[in-house]
Amino acid sequence: MKYYSTLEKIILESNPKIKIEKFKEFYKFFLENKLTFEEDYLAYEMQEPSYENILKIVLPKDVKHIKYVNTKEGKINLLHTIAHIEYSAIDIALDASLRYKNMPKNFYEDWLEVANDEVRHFLMLEKLLEELGSYYGELQVHTNLFEAMKKTPDLLSRMAVIPRYLEANGLDQNPKIMEKLNSNSDFFNKKILNALGIILKEEVDHVTKGDRWFKYECTRLNLKPEQTYIEILERIYPGSTKRKQSLNMEARKKAGFSCDELKYLSKRDDCN
C-alpha cells in the first residue's frame, strides 16, 4: 500500500464513516510497517473542506450558540460543536501526515497517532449525540479550523497555529465548560464530563507534539522559538497576543510552553 496517495484519498473522503473505516485500515498497515513512501508524490491542494457537501456550512457569526448547557438543546449544541472540532481535527492531523515530506519517521508516527485519537474523540461524541436523538450534521457548522489549515501550508506556521495556538486554546476552554456542566451534575452531564476529561488529557499530548515539531523546525531554521511564535500568531491573527488571556497554566506548561511565553500571553507577572 502506498503511503501518500492512499492517505490523500482518505482525507478527501466526504463520508465520515467511510473516512474513518479507511483510516483505521491505513493506520493498521502503518503500524505494521506495510506502507511505501512514494518519492515522486506532490502534495495536493485542498481548496474546500472534505465535509462541504454533507454539512450545513455558515459563517462563524451565524452559528447558533446556546448559553445554557444544562438543557437538552444546550447539550446537543455543545456536543455538536465539539464533535465538529474533533472531526475537523482528523483532517488537520491527516494533512500534517501527508503534506510534509522527508520528515523523521516519528513525525508521521506522532500525527497519525493524533488522527487516531481525534477519530476516537469524534466517535465518542457522536455516540452521545445519538443518545440525545441527534446526529453529527444536524446543526450548522463553520470552517474556521479548515481556514486555519489553509493559512498555514508550511510546517513552522502549521505547528505554531494549529496545536500551539488553536488546540492550546481548547486546553483553556475545556475546564470552563466542565465547570458549567458540574454545576448541574445530572446523569448525562456526567457522561459528557467523562468525554471532556478524556479529550483534555489527550489533547495536552497533541499540543506537546506540536510544541516538539515547532521547536524542531525553529532549530532547523535557526529561529528563536518564543519570538517566532508571537510573530507568526500576529501575522495570521493580528492582535491575538495583545489581549489578556485566562490560560490553563498547568496544562500549557505540561505541553511545553515556557513561563516567559505564559506570562506574555496572560499578561501576568507569574506563571503559576
Which is it for the CA torsion 149, 155, 157, 161, positive or negative?
positive
Q: How confident is the model at residue 180, as a pLDDT?
A: 86
Q: How confident is the model at residue 47, as a pLDDT?
A: 86
**Among 79, 67, 73, 82, CA closest to 180:** 67
Q: Phi first, then psi: what are they for 48, rounded to 5°?
A: -130, 150
Judge contact between 142 and 200, C-beta under 8 A.
no
Q: How many residues does the chain have?
A: 272
Judge contact between 162 and 232, C-beta under 8 A.
no
Distance CA 65, CA 204 (A): 26
pTM: 0.95
- Amino acid code (one letter) for 52: E
Residues of the chain with pLDDT under 50: none
- pLDDT single digits (tens) 84-110: 999 999 999 999 999 999 999 999 999
What the chain holds in terms of domains, given with CATH numbers, is: 1-44 (no CATH), 56-102+115-266 (1.20.1260)
Radius of gyration of the chain (CA): 19
- pLDDT single digits (tens) 6-48: 999 999 999 999 999 999 999 999 999 999 999 889 888 888 9
